[in-house]
Structure formats: structure tokens, C-alpha cells
Structure 1
Amino acid sequence: IDPYVSLFISVVESAGFNIRAKSSMGALGTEQFMTFTAKMLANSVSPWEYLQTNNYSVEMLYDLIESKKLGIRYMKLLLEEFDGRVEWALVGYNAGPYRANEYFKNGEGVFSKDVPEKYRAYSDKVLANYSRINQ
């Protein structure tokens, strides 16, 4: 995963790298994880395979390093899921991979009419920040 994509996910997700960020939906920290998603990532050994271990605590989400590790792992899994298509992986990060797969099943990708504007806008915002750095 490109480190700048990872950086701008944090910036966009947490409104400027706020480690104590909490969304109205309950997502926490700089990476804005829902607790179930973070727990799954912390306790898995392969994509989407959940283990009965306890490598997770909510405090991880407020720890910049631990949260970033989970965020990088999640993006890596999403990039694998969506064949390296960054725009699709970003929609998956924001909407969830299962919902994103539903949006993309027609093969049209991010610009499909099935993808709600808020998820397209999220992907665009991360990539717009990224493109400013890579000019």
C-alpha cells in the first residue's frame, strides 16, 4: 500500500488526524474503524478469516501506531479483494467490503450508478489529496 494513500485515509477519516475521533456512526480513531471490523482485523490470519483470540481492545483504535497497523492491513486486504484497484478499495474501506462488492458486481466500478455519492466522494477526496503530493 502506498504510504501516502494510507496517510490521506487517516486525514480524511479523522478530520485532520484526530486520534480521539469518533463518528456519529461509532467509528473510532484516526482510521475510523467500527469495533467489529477492528476486532476482525486484529484477530485474523488471512482475509476475512476470524479467529477466537483476543488481540484486540478498543484502546488500540486510539493508539496512532496500532490503529495505523490495522488500517494498512485493511487496505492491503481490500486491494487484494478488488484486484489492486485503489478507487474500489477506498469505497470498500468506507462502505465495507461486502457492500462495495454489491455495488461493483455489474463491473462498472466506482462510477456505477449503484455506488452512493458519499462513497464516491470519499474515494475522490482521498485521491485528490494524494494527487497533490504526487504532482
Structure 2
Amino acid sequence: MNYRNVLLAGLLTVHMIPALAAGPTADALRWRHEAQRFQQGSGVQQDFRKAYQHFCKAALAGDAESAFNLGWLYLSGQGVTRHPGRARTWFEQARQLGNPHGERMAFRLRTVAGESDSGCRQPNPAILTAAAGFGPPRIIRPSNKQIESLVQQVAARYAIDPQLVLAVMQAESGFNPGALSPKNAQGLMQLIPATAERFGVKNAWDPAENIRGGAAYLHWLMRHFSGKVEWVLAAYNAGENSVERYKGIPPYAETQAYVKKILSHYGKLTHPVPPERPGKAL
């Protein structure tokens, strides 16, 4: 593994510095509030430079929203000299701290090389590595035959029809193990980090782990929705909470098209409810 891949492997484990790992402190929230007052001129004279200084302190104390706001200040040039590279770095930090707006902006600026912010203490080196635009690590790219073999093994363990797993994979990534969506969904089964963590996937770029994570989620959904394939597919796309809220396929054009596309290949509306515990790994 070369030096770049070593850095990227470290990035994927996301070893945050202690101040960031703990999340925003009471001080961070107070600094963010002060920053917003100066940014908006709420009860004080509007001062973007002071807003920047307070956002800086809050971001370094682990506040994702403040990291995003620093990125926005650098992108818009408010209170600081416009600097897309620094904006990219702060958006990346916001993303890694769980801010969805940071995730979207980091993706939009993905072609911009990130740079450290000399006016504020430099973020975690792992964040700078991500913001440098290197993308995901070297991807293992098995053949379609190897992917099908992996699916057969994993699907048997989770008592999920392998044809359903393959149909979902086709819709999600087109069998591309290096697929990355604007929402940071990764790999063959397009696992977002929260879903990967939920089902014990440590490396979503590893095809075997990714397939296992996707199958584990389908197993959970199939039990949760009593084998209703349409509901399971809708939940895989839009989340189980959306399906529960609407008691069926949500009225989202993307989700409705997604379910229709998969069913056009799979064709089954019901699936046997799998046992609670998956079988042993093969």
C-alpha cells in the first residue's frame, strides 16, 4: 500500500481529534450563538470578521454547524478573502461531524483541493486528506461472476432471495464497487455511513463487506415489513421511517421510480419472512 492509500485508509476509520470526537460543548454552542449574532447583526453591529472568529472557536470545539458556516464564509468571501480550498476543508470537517449540508457542499466542491485555514487552527490531518480530493481508496473490483458468487453466499446466510439482492445492487450501483453518491452512499449496495455502522460494516469499499451490510439491512427490513417487497424496497431507498409514516411507498418520485425499476426485474411482491437470526458465515 503506498503513502496515499495509507492516508486514505486512515481517513476511512475517521480518527477524530479528542475535541471533535466528543461533539459540541456548551462553550461551542455559546460561541456559535455569538457568531450568528455578528453574522446577522442581531443585537450587535454586523461584523463578519467577528463571526468568523467565533465560528472558528466553536468548530474547533466540535460543532459541525460552525464548521459548515466557516466553509460558507470562505465560499462567499464574507469577512474573509474568498478561498474555495479552505471552504472545501471546512465543509469536509462539517461532513465528518455529521452535518448533511456540509456533505452536499463537500461533494459540490469535490474537484477543489482542500487547504488548511491559517487563520484558524488546522483541522484534523485526516480531514485535510479527504479535502485534497483523493477520493475513495483503491477499490477491489471483482468480476460480475465473483460478485454473483458473493451474493449467493451472503443471501443464503440472511435468507434473502439472491435475485432480489442483485436487483437492488443493479439499481443502486450498476455493480460498481466504487460507486459514490452525492449523499455519500458507498459501494455496491450504496451504504451510507450510518447504515454501514448500524450493520457492522467497517469498510464499505470492500465488496464482500458491502454486500453483507446490504443483505443484513434487507433482512431487517424484510422482517420489519413482514415480507412486503414493495415496502422493503421503498425503505431501502427512502428509509423505514418514511415508509412507516405513509404506511406504504412514500409519495416521492425518486422512490416510486426506484421501486418500479427493481420490480420490473425482480417481479415478486412478497418474500418469505426470514428467521430472526442469520445463519453462520460461510
Same topology, TM > 0.5: yes
What is the alpha-carbon distance in structure 2 between the residues aligned to residue 90 and residue 115 of structure 1?
14
The answer as to whether partners of 1:79 and 1:85 remain within 8 angstroms in 2 is yes
Residues 50-69 of structure 1: pairs in structure 2 closer than 5 A: 56-57=201-202, 60-69=203-212
Which residue of 1 is the match for residue 262 of structure 2?
A: 126
- How far apart are the structure 2 equivalents of 1:85 and 1:28? 25
Q: Secondary structure of the equivalent of 1:17?
A: coil
**SS at 1:36 equivalent:** helix
Mark the structure with the bigger radius of gyration.
Answer: 2
CA distance in 1, matches of 2:259, 2:219: 16
* Among candidates 203, 217, 224, match of residue 81 of structure 1: 224
Moved over 2 A (4+): none
How far off its partner does 1:115 sit?
A: 2.3
Distance 1:125 1:94 in 2: 12
Corresponding residue number in structure 2 for 1:8 = 167
Aligned to 2:176: 18
1:29 and 2:187 correspond: yes
Q: CA deviation at 1:18?
A: 0.5
- For 2:216 and 2:195, locate their aligned partners in 1 and report how far apart those are by CA, in whole Å: 11
Tell me how far 1:41 sits from its aligned partner: 1.2
5+ residue gaps, structure 1, are: 43-55
Instruction: Give identity over the alignment, percent.
Output: 35
In structure 1, C-alpha distance between the alignment counterparts of 2:204 and 2:167, rounded to whole Å: 17
| Matching residue within 64, 71, 82 for 2:214 | 71
Alpha-carbon distance in structure 1 between the residues aligned to 2:228 and 2:251: 15
What pairs with 1:103-122 in structure 2 (closer than 5 Å)?
A: 103-104=246-247, 109-110=248-249, 114-122=250-258
Question: Where in structure 2 are there 5+ consecutive unaligned residues?
Answer: 1-159, 268-282
Amino acid at match of 1:4: Q
Length, aligned pairs only: 108
Please give the per-residue CA displacement for 1:27-86, whole angstroms capped at 9, x wherever unaligned: 1101111101110111xxxxxxxxxxxxx42xx211111111111110010011111101
Distance in structure 1 (CA, Å) of the matches to 2:264 and 2:205: 26
Name 1:48's counterpart in structure 2. none
Match of 1:62, SS state, is coil
1:99 offset after TM fit, Å? 1.8
Matched, 1:95 2:253: no
RMSD of aligned residue pairs (Cα, Å): 1.2
2:238 and 2:231 map into 1 onto residues whose CA distance is 10
**8 Å contact kept, 1:12–1:126:** yes
Q: 1:73 corresponds to which letter in structure 2?
A: A
CA contact 1:19–1:64 (8 Å) conserved in 2: yes
Higher relative contact order, structure no. (Cα contacts within 8 Å, ≥ 6 residues apart): 1
Q: C-alpha separation between the residues in 2 aligned to 1:116 and 1:3? A: 27
